[in-house]
Amino acid sequence: MTVLSREALMTALREGREFEFLPFYGHTPRADGKLSDACFSQWWRGEFVVAGVRYFTAERARDAL
């Protein structure tokens, strides 16, 4: 079952479904350069622009908004 919304998640939980969560990830890239769960961190370096302002991490954008 794919859960694509909060409502679907809540329904699945009420029905007794269980899920495995990854609550937090380190933000340090792997030494071998391969992608890992670290890319889900709000501190993962991923440059983007919002309203003309350049951010290097999601955490920095959150702080500014």
Q: What does the domain layout of the chain look like in residue ranges? A: 23-64
pLDDT in tens, 18-55: 988 777 668 888 999 998 888 888 888 888 998 899 99
Cβ neighbours for 24, distance < 8 A, ≥ 6 positions apart: 41
pLDDT in tens, 3-14: 889 999 999 999
- Residue 17 CA to residue 60 CA, distance in Å, equals 35
pTM over 0.75: no
Model pLDDT, residue 28 = 87
Angle among Cα 56, 40, 21 to the nearest 5 degrees reads: 155
